[in-house]
């Protein structure tokens, strides 16, 4: 070929990475591995092959852990945790720093092993995965250093079970292990069956840097092993990344166990392109968004939503670009697309693509042929797709892009939100106004403006809706591995018996339910008697049912404008509530005395302080600008969750009601509250305060009745976004099990809490009332 012809075609020659050091490393281990437990490798028993998907050749034999090995790993982690957690943050920082260093020194070996085992291009493992892994350990060495200063009121959760998928094996390991260790936890991690090798290489590094035995334990095997870790009573928290289906199972299995849980699940992320966007940048963005790692990315921009006027032009440009993508040996440094991880995944992609064609969408693939040997699938573009089509709704997890068009920004946003997922979104426009407006309106944990697939250890990543809950990275991610230190409650004088005898009620007052700003009768027209302190009946409340809850949830959704009211306006309403409660303080104190037999004055006073606190926090519990290595800005925005169900305890019936409702509404949520079943009358009195305090209709809805019956309805309701439950252990389990359907965030308690204490107020409540959205905005030329 002449030089002129080379300039014309820009043809690359092969540039293969030398895999010999990686094979030598595998040989040195006899191409067979056991588990890493208590600082040592075990021989392992039953083994299965880990295969190079690009060639079909076995790489190594991986051990399948039995119950005894999982037990041994958890026990080792348990033994190690007190010592590791008690180390000064600086000592843990040195260990994490050593791991970062060691990873850096062996990064090429790890990148090649990852490419061999997973099939992804060396360009990605070498230039994306490994640098991100290393950065994660450095960044979290920093958090370990600052732990005592930054989190004085928090402690490690304990032993953490971590289960990671095969698409970013070492990176997902880093996302999980680095923050857990930094905060003083010990871990038992299970890598995915298809891709365990780099986790085992990492275990070797842990031993080499002298990490104390038992701090990191790695057990390999199939989903059974994951399930054993999840169910193990010695594990305090599960952190899982993988499919929504398995996430749901894990939610059910851990329900009621008291285990903390974070789930990073699937997505069907929108890639929204407006007509003023720079189309050449968009094309490169799409390449990164859907063909990075062959589309096997949880946040892949798999739905291309294009404004109608430019749809044709963009499709043409994309096709031209797809013709020039290079697919082949993943070890070739000039290759864009490598192999699909396993036959089962290839079959799934193929099946879904065929279904797309059968449902009437138009398929386009480039003219070049895929390699014959190995597991390859060509980049694929679907047009003429209906928003309800299977390929527009289901996560394909392959190099398949589904394009649809829209006319107005409102239509584009509606289309973007037309999914049960909410992991990420990418918005392309030259208008700052439009870009930021979309970013706020799209329901997703991360929004990239004029960019895609940017991640960093300093910025949290995680989903809304069925993409899971919890964050990885950033300060917000650390709270997944921390729990508040509960101090013994400050001694308060024992409440005195009410001095004044409860006055006889003059006129029978009938508390109703409070839904959509109106007092309404319960659907089934049954009432529950309320016993007073003496045991005599002091009133009756409506017995709410499924229909009442449904109406309340509907009313709460109709109050969605509360979420976009200014924080100042929300604070004003909370102050006003305090003002109106203060005006009736004596009456509320008497009512408390009637119900509980204790003087209620102090409780009403505490309610006023609490309302003031959340009024103060309304405009102060806010986000951050993350220090990520990006030219531009990454905003961590604190957003309300949506509709929050709150099931109140019996203790301190007015104060616990106010202490839960106030943070939720301060942060912009609308709530459906089930007040104390035993002492509901303070809550039904309180709706009169709500009525006079400018609380918009539907922001607070009160449904009285049987606690666990109503909690079960709220837990199963798909339009309730989060549920706080204060009741029994059995009730908590039931709530967690039922919430697996739509994977709503639950916050359950069955232990006694001192509602007068400072611990019953503050950031713990505010965190539960919010979710963090990260908005990435690169800028400059």
Residues marked as catalytic: 264, 298
With binding defined as CB under 6 A, does residue 213 bind ligand NDP? no
Nearest CB to ligand NDP, comparing residues 246 and 654? 246
As a whole number of angstroms, the distance between CA 147 and CA 548 comes to 46
Nearest CB to ligand NDP, comparing residues 120 and 190? 190
As a whole number of angstroms, the distance between CA 390 and CA 393 comes to 5
Our CA angle for 250, 637, 272, nearest 5°, is 80
Question: Among the candidate windows 240-248, 314-322, 604-612, 616-624, which touches ligand NDP by CB under 6 A?
Answer: 240-248
With binding defined as CB under 6 A, does residue 246 bind ligand NDP? yes
Question: Among the candidate windows 4-12, 31-39, 144-152, 246-254, which touches ligand NDP by CB under 6 A?
Answer: 246-254
As a whole number of angstroms, the distance between CA 35 and CA 54 comes to 26
**Residue from 119, 226, 422, 460 that binds ligand NDP (CB under 6 A)?**
226
With binding defined as CB under 6 A, does residue 227 bind ligand NDP? yes
Nearest CB to ligand NDP, comparing residues 298 and 574? 298
Nearest CB to ligand NDP, comparing residues 164 and 401? 164
With binding defined as CB under 6 A, does residue 65 bind ligand NDP? no
CB of 350 to ligand NDP, least distance (A): 12
**Residue from 72, 112, 163, 618 that binds ligand NDP (CB under 6 A)?**
163
Using alpha carbons, select from 5, 19, 173 the residue that is nearest to residue 103: 173
As a whole number of angstroms, the distance between CA 476 and CA 481 comes to 10
Neighbours of 109 (CB within 10 A): 16
As a whole number of angstroms, the distance between CA 85 and CA 215 comes to 10
Whether 443 and 592 have beta carbons less than 8 Å apart is answered as: no
Segments in 273-389 forming alpha helices (H):
279-291, 308-323, 343-358
Question: Among the candidate windows 148-156, 164-172, 176-184, 616-624, which touches ligand NDP by CB under 6 A?
Answer: 164-172
Question: Among the candidate windows 245-253, 352-360, 648-656, 659-667, which touches ligand NDP by CB under 6 A?
Answer: 245-253
Nearest CB to ligand NDP, comparing residues 397 and 621? 397
With binding defined as CB under 6 A, does residue 66 bind ligand NDP? no
With binding defined as CB under 6 A, does residue 452 bind ligand NDP? no
With binding defined as CB under 6 A, does residue 120 bind ligand NDP? no
Decide the pairing of beta strands 154-156 and 482-484.
Answer: antiparallel
Please spell the DSSP secondary structure of 638-700, one letter per residue.
Answer: EEE-SEEEEE--SSSHHHHHHHHHHHHHHTT-EEEEE--SSSTHHHHHHHHHHHTTTPPTTSE
As a whole number of angstroms, the distance between CA 408 and CA 415 comes to 11
Nearest CB to ligand NDP, comparing residues 191 and 668? 191
Grouping H, G, I as helix, E, B as strand and the rest as coil, residue 586 is: helix
Question: Phi first, then psi: what are they for 427, rounded to 5°?
Answer: -120, 130
**Residue from 116, 273, 298, 606 that binds ligand NDP (CB under 6 A)?**
298
With binding defined as CB under 6 A, does residue 161 bind ligand NDP? no
As a whole number of angstroms, the distance between CA 359 and CA 386 comes to 9
CB of 177 to ligand NDP, least distance (A): 15
β-bridge partners, 640: 770
Within 266-295, the residues that bind ligand NDP by CB under 6 A are 266
CB of 394 to ligand NDP, least distance (A): 8
- CA 636 from centre of chain: 14
**Residue from 34, 158, 242, 328 that binds ligand NDP (CB under 6 A)?**
242
With binding defined as CB under 6 A, does residue 167 bind ligand NDP? yes
As a whole number of angstroms, the distance between CA 139 and CA 475 comes to 11
With binding defined as CB under 6 A, does residue 112 bind ligand NDP? no
Nearest CB to ligand NDP, comparing residues 163 and 673? 163
**Residue from 50, 125, 128, 241 that binds ligand NDP (CB under 6 A)?**
241
Whether 218 and 513 have beta carbons less than 8 Å apart is answered as: no
Question: Phi first, then psi: what are they for 240, rounded to 5°?
Answer: -130, 135
CB of 303 to ligand NDP, least distance (A): 15
CB of 743 to ligand NDP, least distance (A): 13
Nearest CB to ligand NDP, comparing residues 293 and 676? 293
With binding defined as CB under 6 A, does residue 259 bind ligand NDP? no
Decide the pairing of beta strands 380-383 and 362-364.
Answer: antiparallel
Which residues does 766 contact at the CB level (< 8 Å), separation at least 6? 617, 621, 663, 666, 667
Q: What does the block give as tokens for 49?
A: 């092959």
With binding defined as CB under 6 A, does residue 223 bind ligand NDP? yes
Nearest CB to ligand NDP, comparing residues 227 and 363? 227
Using alpha carbons, select from 52, 109, 95 the residue that is nearest to residue 185: 95
**Residue from 243, 365, 390, 519 that binds ligand NDP (CB under 6 A)?**
243
With binding defined as CB under 6 A, does residue 230 bind ligand NDP? yes
With binding defined as CB under 6 A, does residue 113 bind ligand NDP? no
Which single residue brings its beta carbon nearest to ligand NDP?
226
**SS3 sequence, 191-206?**
CCCCCCHHHHHHHHHH
As a whole number of angstroms, the distance between CA 282 and CA 454 comes to 15
Whether 211 and 358 have beta carbons less than 8 Å apart is answered as: no
CB of 387 to ligand NDP, least distance (A): 20
**Residue from 202, 397, 448, 588 that binds ligand NDP (CB under 6 A)?**
397
The CA–CA distances, whole Å, from 140 to 176, 190, 263, 504, 629 equal 11, 21, 20, 62, 15
Sketch the per residue contact string, 328 through 347, with ligand NDP: x for CB under 6 A, - otherwise. Answer: -----------------x--
Nearest CB to ligand NDP, comparing residues 151 and 168? 168
Grouping H, G, I as helix, E, B as strand and the rest as coil, residue 267 is: coil
Whether 477 and 469 have beta carbons less than 8 Å apart is answered as: no
Question: Among the candidate windows 100-108, 112-120, 241-249, 624-632, which touches ligand NDP by CB under 6 A?
Answer: 241-249
Whether 470 and 254 have beta carbons less than 8 Å apart is answered as: no
The CA–CA distances, whole Å, from 508 to 301, 504, 505, 530, 556 equal 61, 10, 7, 14, 30
Whether 370 and 377 have beta carbons less than 8 Å apart is answered as: yes
With binding defined as CB under 6 A, does residue 470 bind ligand NDP? no
Nearest CB to ligand NDP, comparing residues 264 and 759? 264
β-bridge partners, 469: 263
**Residue from 249, 365, 527, 572 that binds ligand NDP (CB under 6 A)?**
249
Our CA angle for 339, 299, 107, nearest 5°, is 55
Which residues does 206 contact at the CB level (< 8 Å), separation at least 6? 36, 39, 99, 215, 216
Nearest CB to ligand NDP, comparing residues 293 and 677? 293
Number of residues located near ligand NDP, criterion CB under 6 A: 26
Q: What does the block give as tokens for 529?
A: 């008697």
CB of 347 to ligand NDP, least distance (A): 10
**Residue from 124, 395, 759, 768 that binds ligand NDP (CB under 6 A)?**
395
**Residue from 333, 348, 546, 749 that binds ligand NDP (CB under 6 A)?**
348
As a whole number of angstroms, the distance between CA 749 and CA 170 comes to 35
**Residue from 193, 480, 548, 759 that binds ligand NDP (CB under 6 A)?**
193
With binding defined as CB under 6 A, does residue 265 bind ligand NDP? yes
Nearest CB to ligand NDP, comparing residues 241 and 634? 241
With binding defined as CB under 6 A, does residue 473 bind ligand NDP? no
Question: Among the candidate windows 45-53, 190-198, 405-413, 535-543, which touches ligand NDP by CB under 6 A?
Answer: 190-198
**Residue from 92, 102, 126, 190 that binds ligand NDP (CB under 6 A)?**
190
**Residue numbers of the site for ligand NDP (CB under 6 A)?**
163-167, 190, 192-193, 222-223, 226-227, 230, 241-243, 246, 249-250, 265-266, 298, 345, 348, 395, 397
């Amino acid at each position: 070929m002449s030089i002129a012809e080379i300039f014309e075609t820009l043809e690359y020659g092969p540039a293969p990475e030398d895999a010999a050091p990686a094979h030598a490393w595998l040989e040195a281990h006899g191409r067979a591995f056991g588990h890493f437990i208590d600082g040592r490798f075990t021989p392992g028993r039953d083994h299965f092959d880990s295969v190079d998907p690009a060639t079909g050749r076995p790489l190594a034999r991986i051990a399948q852990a039995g119950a005894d090995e999982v037990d041994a790993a958890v026990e080792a982690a348990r033994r190690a945790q007190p010592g590791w957690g008690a180390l000064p943050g600086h000592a843990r920082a040195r260990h994490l720093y050593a791991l970062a260093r060691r990873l850096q020194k062996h990064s090429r070996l790890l990148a090649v092993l990852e490419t061999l085992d997973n099939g992804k291009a060396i360009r990605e493992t070498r230039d994306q995965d490994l640098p991100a892994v290393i950065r994660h350990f450095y960044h979290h060495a920093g958090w370990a250093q600052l732990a005592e200063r930054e989190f004085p009121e928090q402690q490690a959760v304990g032993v953490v079970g971590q289960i990671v998928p095969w698409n970013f094996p070492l990176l997902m390991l880093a996302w999980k292990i680095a923050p857990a260790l930094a905060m003083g936890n010990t871990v038992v991690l299970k890598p995915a069956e298809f891709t365990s090798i780099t986790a085992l290489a990492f275990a070797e590094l842990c031993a080499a840097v002298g990490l104390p035995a038992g701090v990191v334990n790695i057990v390999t095997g199939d989903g059974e092993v994951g399930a054993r870790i999840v169910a193990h009573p010695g594990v305090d928290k599960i952190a899982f990344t993988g499919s929504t289906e398995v996430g749901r199972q894990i939610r059910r299995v851990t329900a009621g166990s008291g285990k903390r849980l974070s789930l990073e699940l699937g997505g069907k992320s929108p890639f929204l392109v407006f007509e003023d966007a720079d189309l050449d940048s968009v094309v490169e963005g799409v390449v990164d968004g859907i063909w990075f790692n062959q589309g096997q990315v949880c946040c892949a921009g798999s739905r291309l939503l294009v404004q109608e006027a430019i749809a044709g032009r963009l499709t043409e440009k994309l096709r031209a670009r797809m013709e020039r993508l290079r697919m082949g040996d993943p070890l070739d440094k000039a290759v864009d697309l490598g192999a699909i991880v396993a036959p089962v995944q290839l079959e799934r992609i193929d099946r879904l693509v065929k279904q797309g064609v059968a449902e009437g969408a138009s398929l386009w693939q480039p003219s070049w042929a895929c390699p014959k040997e190995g597991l390859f699938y060509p980049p694929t573009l679907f047009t003429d797709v209906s928003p309800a089509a299977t390929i527009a709704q289901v996560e394909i997890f392959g190099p398949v892009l589904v394009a649809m068009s829209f006319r107005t920004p409102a239509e584009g946003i509606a289309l973007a939100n037309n999914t049960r997922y909410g992991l990420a979104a990418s918005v392309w426009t030259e208008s700052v106004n439009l870009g930021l407006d979309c970013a706020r309106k799209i329901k997703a944990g991360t929004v990239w403006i004029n960019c895609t697939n940017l991640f960093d250890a300093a910025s949290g990543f995680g989903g809304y809706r069925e993409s899971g809950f919890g964050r990885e990275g950033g300060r917000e991610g650390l709270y997944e591995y921390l729990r508040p230190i509960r101090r013994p409650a400050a001694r308060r004088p024992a409440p005195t018996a009410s001095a004044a005898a409860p006055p006889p009620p003059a006129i029978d007052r009938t508390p109703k339910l409070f839904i959509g700003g109106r007092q309404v009768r319960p659907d089934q027209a049954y009432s529950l008697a309320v016993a007073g302190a003496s045991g005599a009946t002091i009133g009756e409340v409506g017995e709410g049912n499924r229909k009442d809850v449904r109406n309340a949830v509907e009313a709460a959704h109709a109050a969605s404008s509360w979420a976009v009211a200014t924080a100042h306006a929300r604070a004003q309403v909370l102050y006003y509530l305090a003002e109106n409660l203060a005006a009736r303080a004596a009456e509320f104190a008497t009512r408390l005395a009637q119900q509980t037999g204790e003087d209620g004055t102090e409780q009403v006073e505490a309610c006023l302080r609490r309302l003031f606190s959340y009024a103060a926090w309304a405009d102060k519990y806010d986000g951050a600008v993350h220090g990520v290595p990006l030219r531009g800005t990454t905003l961590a925005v604190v957003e309300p969750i949506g509709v929050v169900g709150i099931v109140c305890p019996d203790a301190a019936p007015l104060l616990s009601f106010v202490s839960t409702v106030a943070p939720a509404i301060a942060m912009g949520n609308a709530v459906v509250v089930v007040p104390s079943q035993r002492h509901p009358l303070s809550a039904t009195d309180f709706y009169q305060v709500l009525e006079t305090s400018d609380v918009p209709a539907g922001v607070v809805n009160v449904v009285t009745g049987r606690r666990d019956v109503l909690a079960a309805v709220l837990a199963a309701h798909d339009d309730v976004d989060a549920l706080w439950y204060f009741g029994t252990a059995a009730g908590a389990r039931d709530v967690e099990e039922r919430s697996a359907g739509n994977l709503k965030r639950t916050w359950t308690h069955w232990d006694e809490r001192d509602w007068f204490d400072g611990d019953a107020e503050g950031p713990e409540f505010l965190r539960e009332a919010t979710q963090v959205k990260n908005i990435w905005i690169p800028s400059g030329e």
